[in-house]
Structure 1
């Protein structure tokens, strides 16, 4: 089994959207249009297994201090290979290299992020104005049941 992590280009967007479609449909990941993904393509990291896109995530920078793990997904076919963990670790490493202070995650997977060193915070503690522009697009807004977690770099 050959596993490859890489920074995608815009030609990967359609396949990435196919991988995340089920999670978008059930409301666990916010829809990102093709144009939005193209605009932020540099923030993504993709993992392939034997040449097939198995998952991806994005490290979105909100400010010189705060970034966010976004759109973390691993295809059901490839779960159990620690690919999600490795994708988040790549975000942590990238955040350190960029000189950021903190990485935020809004998640339903509290235990997963705790194992990676993230700590739960109250949503009211979310630094800056992070997400409200994104949150208003969520089908669960304003009754958000995601858990806010942060990792201090």
Structure 2
């Protein structure tokens, strides 16, 4: 089995949207339009298994000190192979390279992120610009049951 991570390009957007479609419909992941994905394509990391797109996530920079791992998805077909963990680690490495101090995750997968070293924080401590840029667009807003977690990077 050949597994590799890579930085996707604009021609990957359609496949990425197809992969995340079910999670978006369930309200687990926020919808990102093609244009939105195009303007942030550099923030994404994708993973493929034997040449097939198996998952992706993004490291979104909010400020000099804070980034966020978002849109993490792994195809049902490829779950259980540690691909999600590998994607998160790639994003953390990228954050470290950029000298970000903290990485946020808003998720329903609390245990997954805790195993990777993230710690639960109060949602009230999340920067206001995150709430108004993303959360307000979610179908669950303002009654959010996601868990906020933070990872402190050592640079």
- Find out whether 1:104 has 2:104 as its counterpart: yes
Alignment correspondent of 1:12: 12
Residue 73 of structure 1 pairs with residue 73 of structure 2: yes
- In the TM superposition, what are the counterparts of 1:23-42 in structure 2 within 5 Å? 23-42=23-42
Q: Deviations over 1:73-93 (max 9, x none)?
A: 000000000000000000110
Counterpart for residue 95 of structure 1: 95
Which 5+ residue runs of structure 1 have no aligned equivalent?
A: none
1:29-81 CA distance string (max 9 Å, x none):
00000000000000000000011100000000000000000100000000000
Q: CA RMSD in A?
A: 0.8
TM-score normalised over the length of structure 1: 0.98
> C-alpha displacement at 1:128, in angstroms?
5.4
Distance apart, 1:131 and its partner CA: 3.1
Q: Which runs of 4+ in 1 moved over 6 A?
A: none
TM-score (norm: length of structure 2): 0.97
**Corresponding residue SS for 2:113:** helix
- SS state at 1:132 partner: helix
- Counterpart-to-counterpart distance in 2, 1:9 and 1:133: 24
Give the paired residue count: 153
Q: Is the 8 A contact 1:66 1:127 kept in 2?
A: no
